[in-house]
Homo-oligomer: A and B are copies of this chain.
Amino acid sequence: MRNIRLTLQYEGTRYQGWQRQQSTDNTIQGKLEILLTRMCGEPIEIHGSGRTDAGVHALGQVANFHTNCEMSTDEMLEYINRYLPEDIAAVALSEAAPRFHSRLNACGKHYEYRVINSSVPHVFHRRYALEVPEQLNVTAMEQAAEYLCGEHDFKSFTSTKKGKKSTVRRIDKISIVREGDILTFSFKGSGFLHHMIRILMGTLLQVGKGELSPESVPAIIEACNREMAGPLVPAKGLTLVEVFF
C-alpha cells in the first residue's frame, strides 16, 4: 500500500477548520477526503500534522494518506488541484516511507500571527491580520517573548480543560518584525496546544499596549491558570507556515 505525503495551502476564512465533522463537510479534511476517495476509488482517510481551527490559514500544512491507487504522483497532484476549491491547494505531493505519519513524526512547527498596527484599514491584509489601532511597544513584547521561550508547562495558555495529556511544550523562538503598519509575530517550537498561539498573542498584545509588564509573564506561566493569561485573539491573523520533521 502506498503512503502519499501532501503539502497544502489554504485560506481558512470559509472553513470550520481542519478536522472533519459529522454534521458538516465544510472542513479542509472533509473536502480533501471526499476528493481523494473519488480519485482513488476507495475510502481514504487523511492525517494532518495537526488540526487548525476555524478561520486559521496554512502555507505549509502537511498531511498523508494510504492508498492502492495506481496514478502517478504528478497525475494525483494535477487531479487534486483541478477539483479543489480555489482557497485550498496542494503545492507538493510525493511518495512517503510506509511508516511516515504527518502528526506523529512532526517534531516542530512554525506559525505566524499578523497584526495591522494602524487606525486605518489595510485592504489586502484584512483576511489575514488582526487590526490593532493602539500603539504597540515592540521592545516590551520582545522582552515578554523571551520569558515564553524554552520548555514550560503552558497550561495558562490553552483552552483545553483538565486532561491527562501533558501541557509541557518547548518554544524555540519568537520574533517580531515590523514592515510599515504590519507586524509579523513568528513562533517556532516543538508543538503548540489548542489555542496556545492565539492566547500567547493576546498576552503579548497586552504587554505591547502597556496593560501588562513583561516581567509579569513568568508568574503567568507558573500559575498554570488560563485566567491569568491574556484573551484569545481572532483566528484570521494566524497562519501555519511550516511543519518540521
Chain A positions within 8 Å of B, measured between CB atoms, are 9-11, 57, 59, 77, 81, 84, 86-92, 120-124, 126, 128
Contact = CB atoms under 8 A, between A and B. Distances in A.
- A interface, over-half SS: mixed
A92 B181 CA distance: 13
B81 A120 contact: yes
A88 B122 CA distance: 9
Copies of this chain held together in the complex? 2
Contacts of A121: 9, 81, 84, 86, 89, 91
Contacts of A10: 123
B124 A11 contact: yes
6 contacts: A9-B121, A84-B121, A86-B126, A91-B122, A92-B120, A124-B128
A122 B9 CA distance: 7
B77 A120 contact: yes
B9 A88 contact: no
Given A59-B124, A91-B120, 18 more contacts: A9-B121, A9-B123, A9-B124, A11-B124, A77-B120, A81-B120, A81-B121, A84-B121, A86-B121, A86-B126, A87-B123, A87-B126, A88-B123, A89-B121, A89-B122, A89-B123, A91-B122, A92-B120
Nearest to A118: B91
Contacts of A126: 86-87
A241 to B, nearest CB: 12
Contacts of A9: 121-124
Contacts of A87: 123, 126
Contacts of A124: 9, 11, 57, 59, 128
Contacts of A120: 77, 81, 89-92
Nearest to A74: B119
Nearest to A80: B120
Contacts of A59: 124
Contacts of A91: 120-122
A88 B77 CA distance: 36
A84 B123 CA distance: 11
A121 B57 CA distance: 15
A9 B10 CA distance: 24
Nearest to A120: B91
Contact of A123 (B77, B86, B123): B86
